[in-house]
Amino acid sequence: MNRGLCIIPNQNLISNVGFGADAAHTTWEVDEIANLPTQSISFPLKHPTAITINMEAETVIDKMRFTGRKYIRTMRETAMDLSQQGQHKRALEIWEKCIKLRSDLSEFYYQKACCLQKIGDSQQAIQCLHHLLKSHPNHQPAQSLLNTLIKKPHNSSPLASKNQQQQRFLVYTMGQVGSTSISTSLKNYTSQVYDIHFLDETYLQNNMHKGHCVDGYFVFKNWLGEPLKIISMVRNPIAVNVSGFFQNLDTYYPHLSQEEILQLSMEELINKFWTLDLNYPLIWFDREFNKCLNFDIYSQPFSMLGWQTYLHESYHILIMQAELMDSQKQEVIRMFTGISNLQLENQNMSSQKWYSNRFQEFQEKLVLPKDYLDKMLSSKFTRHFYSQSQIQEFYRSFNHCN
């Protein structure tokens, strides 16, 4: 514009972290210019001997950032849509074209390998992943997929994918994070859904009178180790404890009817609350994911978007913050499951329970000591899944308790 020139360094000095599903324009979280690593620049600067247009640099920039990027992005979105529709062969053709245009982008090789796996060509998928890992040895999803393929018998026939069982969905969460809404919504589209809180065999066997444990034992015996899409949720641990306390009021007062429980004084309820083990949300992922899935979630980064997907062995895992807006959760679940018309239905809400009025009063009168707040909100769990600004907001929301 106005015959001006731009100066562009050879090293990348900034990183755009604003990519993701909730962004206004930069919604593609694996965009090639998203979260680029920054580099240092050497001083003193070496100035060119003449101010002129570098046509070679112009061509590269146009291909990488402008015309070429827009064209490739359209191709990539088309390929992803085709994969979600189950048209993996057509998607594979597009990924191969993308690789010809930008052979430096690891995501294209990974998506190609995923398509090859879907059509049953495991040998080609393994070769593709080996090629990718040579140049990107720390590509965790590629390594996980490779491990999965190597462990399973290879079948080069495209017919193998047609004979596979229907995709299985496991909603595997701690209690009081909104899992019922997700599992109920999924069951409107497929019967292959289980909603569980535990997978430890000893615990399940000792608690078979509980519905979740019956389902959990079935999953333990029949699904564990098989390809699964797993959805889990995290929530402010103080909210988990308070909601969980009221959800299980009948258990804490087994000899009282619901009407009699509602007549208990608020002081009695608050005193009962403090007698419970309140570490449950803090240790759940160590006790369940780490022990039962052999997956240490804390060794993997969690996105500032409030959700993250992982590939581990035969599992494709999605973890979301319960605090996300329902519209955000719905969009993420659609993308993860491939169910493009899924509608998220709110279920099991405290406001609809028999104790709703007492629950509201309890929240207003409960005094949370500072040492309890610090223990919950400075824990490994909270610091891993929430940003500092979110944690500060949690503190502010419990301000009346100090």
- Domain 1-156 is found in CATH 1.10.10.410: no
Report CA torsion sign: 276, 281, 286, 290: positive
Decide: 341 and 359 in contact? Cβ < 8 Å.
no
Peptide bond into 44 cis (omega under 30): yes
pLDDT (0 to 100) of residue 400? 55
pLDDT (0 to 100) of residue 157? 36
Decide: 16 and 26 in contact? Cβ < 8 Å.
yes
> Strands, DSSP E only, in 254-363?
307-312, 315-321
Which pTM value belongs to this model? 0.60
Q: In whole angstroms, what is the distance from residue 185 CA to residue 197 CA?
A: 18
- Residue 50, phi then psi, degrees to nearest 5: -140, 150
Q: What is the distance between the terminal CA atoms of the chain, rounded to a whole angstrom?
A: 58
pLDDT (0 to 100) of residue 239? 95
Q: Which helix (H) or strand (E) holds 258?
A: helix 258-262
- Residue 121, phi then psi, degrees to nearest 5: -95, 75
Phi-psi region of 325 (alpha: psi -120 to 50; beta: other; left: phi over 0): beta
Give 169: exposed, middle or buried? Use CB within 10 Å, 0-12, 13-18, 19+: buried
pLDDT (0 to 100) of residue 107? 83
Q: In whole angstroms, what is the distance from residue 319 CA to residue 307 CA?
A: 6
Give 124: exposed, middle or buried? Use CB within 10 Å, 0-12, 13-18, 19+: middle
pLDDT (0 to 100) of residue 196? 95
Amino acid, single-letter form, for residue 189: Y
CA nearest to 375, candidates 394, 351, 356? 394
pLDDT (0 to 100) of residue 154? 42
Neighbours of 186 (CB within 10 A): 23
Q: In whole angstroms, what is the distance from residue 264 CA to residue 255 CA?
A: 13
Low-confidence residues of the chain, pLDDT below 50?
Answer: 67-68, 153-165
Q: What is the pLDDT of residues 45-75, one digit of tens each?
A: 877 777 777 766 766 565 555 544 566 778 8
Helix and strand numbers (H, E) in the chain are: 21, 5
Q: Where are the domains of the chain?
A: 1-156, 169-401
CA 234 and chain centroid, separation: 10
CA nearest to 239, candidates 400, 378, 373? 373
Sole residue written with tokens 């609350």: 273
pLDDT (0 to 100) of residue 136? 79
Q: Parallel, antiparallel, or unpaired for β 228-234 and 315-321?
A: parallel
Q: Which helix (H) or strand (E) holds 192?
A: none
Q: What is the pLDDT of residues 210-236, one digit of tens each?
A: 767 888 989 999 999 999 999 999 999
- Residue 118, phi then psi, degrees to nearest 5: -65, -35
CA nearest to 164, candidates 174, 173, 155? 155
Q: In whole angstroms, what is the distance from residue 121 CA to residue 272 CA?
A: 58
Sole residue written with tokens 């279920």: 347
Neighbours of 139 (CB within 10 A): 18
Q: In whole angstroms, what is the distance from residue 369 CA to residue 346 CA?
A: 32
